[in-house]
Structure 1
Amino acid sequence: MRGALGIVMLIIVLLPSPLREGGLTRLIVETPTYDGSGQAVHPDVIRMERGLGGYSCWMVFTPYPKCDAGYENPSLLASPDCGNWLEPEGLRNPLVAPPREGHYSDPDIFLAKGKLWIYFRWSQGLEERIYAISSDDGISWSEKVEVLRTRSESLLSPSVVVEEGSLRMWYIDIRPSPNVIKLRTSASPEGPYSGPTVCHVDGVPDDMELWHLDVIKVRDGYDAFIVLINRGKGLRKSFLYFATSEDGVNWRLSSEPILRPSIDGWDDLLIYRSTALLLEESEGWGRILRRYAVWYSACNKAEEWHIGYAELSICIGDEIRLCGP
C-alpha cells in the first residue's frame, strides 16, 4: 500500500511464514547481519524524502544471536522502498568495532545538520555512555564521539527527535523503582546535553515496568511506542504499548498493549524495542486515528531474535487503543 508519506510497503518474507492473529498480519523481515546469523534486535528506521544514495529508508539495529551481547554492535541496512533491506555497496558492518570492555546496544538514527547521525549506548557495571557517529552519505562513518556519560542513571533505548535544530532525547532509567522515562535536550548532536527531566506516564499497570521506547514527532506533539515488561520478573514477557504527549514530558498510555507475543510463532516470547513511521492521520467522532508502519524486534522461546513488520491503527481520544488492523 502507499500511505500518506508515500511509503510503498513491499515486505519480502524469506524466513517463516507471516503470522495472522486477531486480524493482524505480522511479517518477519530479512535482516542480513555481519555475523551471519540473521538475528537482529532494536531497530530504528528513518525515511528521507529525497533519499540518500538511491535509498529512501535506512534502518539501524544490532545483531543479537541467541542473546549474545558481544555481537550487539551498531549495524545499518538501507532500502529503496522501506521493504527490501540490504547492505549498500561500500558499507561495512558493524559500523563500530566491538569495545574492549563493556558492550554496545540500543542504536537510534536521525537527521541533523544535513547529516545522518546514529546514537548508541555503551555500558559496563554502573557506568553508561551515549556515543555518536555521523555520515554524509550513509556509507562512510565518522569515529565515535562521546555525548553523554553517567554513573548515576541508566540510558536504555535513547530516542532522539530534532526540532528546529535542537535535539530532544528520551531514554529509560531503570535505577529508580519503578523505572522512569527521562528527557534531555541539546543544541548539538555532539552535546552537551541538559540535565534530565523525569517524565510522567499515566496508565502504567501496577504489575508492569517501562523498558524501551521510540518517540515520533507528530502534528500536535509526540507519540511513543513503549515496551513494558512484567515487574519483578525480568524479561519473561513483554508487550508493546502506545503513548501520546503534547509536551514530551506528560504522557498518556494506551489502555491495552497494541502488540503482544504470538501464541506460537517466531515472536512468541518477547515483543521488544520497536520503531514506526506515520502512514496516515484522520480525525472524526471526537478522536484522532493514526495508522503506523511498525518495525518491531521480537524473540521466540528458542531465544532467536528477529525484526518484524505490522501496520497498526491507533485511536486517540478519551481512551487510547488499537483500532484494528
Structure 2
Amino acid sequence: MATTIAIFKMKSKKNLIGCFILYFVIISCTKKRNEEQNTPSLPPLAQLEKRDTIGSTTDTIAYVNRSPNASEILNFNNYLNNTENIHPKVLYFSKGWKGYKFWMAYTPYPQGDVKYENPCIAVSQDGINWATPKGLENPLDLPFENGYNSDTHLVYREDLDIIECWYRPYDIKTNKNAIYRRVSSDGIHWQNREVIFDFNDVQMLSPAINFENGKYKIWYCLGNEIRYIESLDSSAKRWPKTFLALKFDWSKFYPWHLDVIKTEKGYEMIVCVWEKAIKGANNNSADLFYCSTDEANKVIDQPYPILKRNTNKDAFDYRSIYRASFIKVNGKYYIYYSCISNNWTRSMALSFGSDINDLHGYVKKSK
C-alpha cells in the first residue's frame, strides 16, 4: 500500500512539473503570437535592398570620398522609366512608417521637360536604394494645359499619423502659382487634392513646410529673400495676410529653392543659390548654401556655401546643384541633392557628414 502511494506521489509530482512546463510553453507561444500580431506587417516591397543603412548603429555608409560631391547618382526609375529625378523631400522614421524607414516626394524632370514634372512618391529601407511603394501608381497629379506641377514637399502629421504631399502648380500664361496638397494614411491611397493657396493668393517658390504645435510653418523664396509664414490653425486653411522676411544677407546672391529642418540648434536651412555678379547666372548654375535661425527666427548663420558644382565637366553635377533635402540622424547630416549635368541631364545624389562643413559625397560600396 505504501509503495502504491509513493508511486502515485511521484507520478503526481511529475504531472505537476509537466503542467508547469506546458503552462510556460503556452504562455511563451501566446506572447510570441501577440508580439507578431502587434508588429506591423511589411508590404512585399518593404524588403528592399539594404546595402548601406542610414540611421543604424551599424551605419556602413563610407567616408572614403573626401569631396562633398557624390561619385554616382541615386539610381531609381520614375513613372517614365528613367532616372532624371529632382526636387526631393525626404522623411526618416527610425521605427518605420507603414513598413518603410524613408519616404520621399520628388518630381521627374527629364531634360527640363515641364510636362513630366509631376509629384511622385518613393520609399527606401536604407536611404540609398529607392522604389515606388507597392500598390501606388505615380504621379499623384497630372499636368494641366499651359501649366505643370513642381516643388514637391512631404510633411508628416504625427498627431494624425498621416503624410501630406504639397506641390506647386504653375500657370505659364498668367505667371502665377497655387499650392495644392494630397493626404494619405498609408502612402498608397491618397485623398483628393486640396487647394491650400489658389492662383490669386500669395505667390511662393519651393515652400518648405513643417507641422509643429498645431500649426503649419512655411519658409519660401521670393523677391530675393526667404519669407516665413505660419497657419492660424491646424487645418492649413487659415493664414495671415502678412509674412516675415528673414534677415539673411542676400546682397551678393539670389536664393532659389530651399529645405528647412528643426534640430537642437533651431531651424537649419539649405538653399540653392547663384551669384548675382556672374553674368547669365540663374537657377541652372547654382550651388548649395547653408544658413540657420533660432526658433524665434533670429539669424544664427548667414548664408555660406557647403556644396558647389563639380569642376569635372563630365560629372552629373557639373552645371548646377538644384533643390536639396536633408535629414539629421544620429548626429549626421544626409543631404539629398538634385543636380544638372553639362548635357542637361537631371539627377539626384547624396552627400553626408557629421559636420555640415565637412561633407562626403556618397560612394557605393562593393557587394
The bucket for the TM-score relative to the shorter chain is 0.7 to 0.9
Distance 1:308 1:24, change over 3 A: closer
Unpaired segments ≥5 residues, structure 2: 1-51, 361-367
Give the Å deviation of 1:188.
Answer: 2.4
**Contact 2:284 / 2:322 at 8 angstroms: preserved in 1?**
no
Give the Å deviation of 1:126.
Answer: 3.2
Give the Å deviation of 1:47.
Answer: 1.2
Mark the structure with the bigger radius of gyration: 2
* Structural mapping, 1:261-280, within 5 Å: 261-264=309-312, 265-280=315-330
Amino acid at match of 2:336: W
User: How many Å separate the matches in 2 of 1:8 and 1:128?
Assistant: 44
**Pair 1:292 & 2:333 matched:** yes
**Pair 1:29 & 2:74 matched:** yes
Matching residue of 1:118: 165
Which structure: greater helix fraction? 2
**Pair 1:158 & 2:210 matched:** no
Secondary structure, counterpart of 2:131 in structure 1: coil
**Pair 1:218 & 2:273 matched:** no
Give the Å deviation of 1:54.
Answer: 1.5
**Contact 1:132 / 1:144 at 8 angstroms: preserved in 2?**
yes
Give the Å deviation of 1:248.
Answer: 5.7
Matching residue of 2:342: 301
Superposition CA RMSD, Å: 2.6
**Contact 2:109 / 2:116 at 8 angstroms: preserved in 1?**
yes
User: How many Å separate the matches in 2 of 1:323 and 1:253?
Assistant: 16
User: How many Å separate the matches in 2 of 1:146 and 1:64?
Assistant: 23
Aligned residues: 299
User: How many Å separate the matches in 1 of 2:64 and 2:254?
Assistant: 27
**Contact 2:294 / 2:300 at 8 angstroms: preserved in 1?**
no
Give the Å deviation of 1:253.
Answer: 4.2
User: How many Å separate the matches in 2 of 1:271 and 1:230?
Assistant: 13
Percent sequence identity is 25
Amino acid at match of 2:316: W
Secondary structure, counterpart of 1:28 in structure 2: coil
Give the Å deviation of 1:219.
Answer: 1.8
**TM superposition score normalised by structure 1:** 0.83
Matching residue of 1:144: 193
Matching residue of 2:306: 258
**Contact 2:68 / 2:358 at 8 angstroms: preserved in 1?**
no
User: How many Å separate the matches in 1 of 2:71 and 2:311?
Assistant: 13
1:248-307 deviations in whole A, cap 9, x for unaligned? 6333445641001111201101001111111344xxxxxxxxx30110000001000010
**Contact 2:273 / 2:287 at 8 angstroms: preserved in 1?**
yes
2:234 to 160, 164, 188: 188
* Structural mapping, 1:10-21, within 5 Å: 20=65
Distance 1:7 1:269, change over 3 A: farther
Secondary structure, counterpart of 1:257 in structure 2: strand
Matching residue of 2:114: 69
**TM superposition score normalised by structure 2:** 0.74
User: How many Å separate the matches in 2 of 1:299 and 1:7?
Assistant: 33
User: How many Å separate the matches in 2 of 1:280 and 1:68?
Assistant: 38
Unpaired segments ≥5 residues, structure 1: 12-17, 282-290, 316-321
